[in-house]
């Protein structure tokens, strides 16, 4: 009985849907160089390379830039709470994020010049992308739960107290996600600025 409950928590429908959206986006991004025109691919490649290798930029400036991007994405995903169609919106978000991750990893793999740089670049990027992706997927599940809870709270006044308690718990979890994203940005910025990834 306990094993069944654990499996349901790990493999719930929302999580499977979000993982599928992210994985599909990852595959699209991985093969983006095949369907993008040569000119557009060069533009995308240059943008990503400038973002990865910022050895000429100050540490603080690079960190603020990366964390601001992470926080903006977190905020966009959180806004789905106020939508009745939170599930498809969150799925589209993860699809697009997966496309960005796939494209970024592809550009990094094609741009490194030595074996040492390839290992360092790919390990750094994969760890960073894995941790941030886990944060956004977990947040997407929170968004769906909060959206459903908000609708129940609006429709039934008896559940308002439980709704407030759940909102506090969600705020604490969201703060933890922000802290994790901040730490990820800090560590990745260190490698970007201190070490020549590409």
Q: Are the C-beta atoms of 103 and 44 separated by less than 8 Å? A: yes
The pLDDT assigned to 114 comes to: 56
The DSSP code sequence of 33-90 is HHHS-HHHHHHHHHHHHHHH--TTS-HHHHHHHHHHHHHHHHHHHHGGGG-TTHHHHH
Q: What is the mean pLDDT of residues 60-65?
A: 86
CA atoms of 144 and 193, how far apart (whole Å) = 37
Q: Are the C-beta atoms of 196 and 124 separated by less than 8 Å? A: no
Q: Where are the domains of the chain?
A: 13-194
* pLDDT, greater one: 6 or 146: 146
Instruction: Look at 53-62, 88-97, 165-174 and tell me which has the smallest mean pLDDT.
Output: 53-62
The pLDDT assigned to 135 comes to: 95
The pLDDT assigned to 140 comes to: 93
The pLDDT assigned to 5 comes to: 46
CA-wise closest residue to 148 among 77, 84, 57: 84
Q: What is the mean pLDDT of residues 168-189?
A: 90
pLDDT above 50 for 38: yes
Give the largest Cα separation in the chain, rounded.
64
Q: How many other C-beta atoms are found inside a 10 Å radius of the C-beta of residue 190?
A: 14
* pLDDT, greater one: 37 or 115: 37
CA atoms of 117 and 159, how far apart (whole Å) = 55
Rounded to 5 degrees, what are φ and ψ at 36? -85, 150
The pLDDT assigned to 195 comes to: 61
Q: What is the mean pLDDT of residues 157-182?
A: 78
The pLDDT assigned to 53 comes to: 66
The pLDDT assigned to 44 comes to: 84
């Amino acid at each position: 009985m306990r094993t069944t409950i654990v499996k349901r928590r790990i493999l719930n429908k929302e999580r499977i849907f979000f993982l599928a959206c992210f994985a599909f986006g990852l595959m699209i991004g991985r093969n983006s160089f095949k369907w993008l025109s040569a000119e557009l691919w060069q533009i995308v490649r240059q943008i990503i390379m400038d973002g990865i290798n910022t050895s000429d930029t100050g540490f603080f400036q690079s960190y603020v830039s990366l964390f601001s991007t992470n926080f903006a994405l977190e905020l966009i995903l959180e806004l789905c709470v106020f939508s009745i169609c939170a599930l498809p919106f969150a799925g589209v978000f993860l699809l697009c994020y997966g496309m960005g991750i796939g494209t970024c990893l592809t550009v990094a793999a094609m741009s490194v010049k030595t074996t040492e740089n390839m290992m360092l670049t790919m390990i750094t990027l994969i760890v960073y992308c894995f941790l941030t992706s886990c944060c956004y997927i977990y947040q997407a599940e929170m968004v769906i739960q909060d959206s459903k809870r908000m609708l129940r709270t609006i429709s039934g006044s008896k559940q308002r107290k439980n709704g407030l308690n759940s909102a506090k718990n969600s705020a604490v979890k969201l703060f933890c996600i922000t802290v994790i994203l901040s730490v990820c940005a800090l560590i990745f910025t260190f490698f970007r600025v201190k070490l020549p990834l590409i």
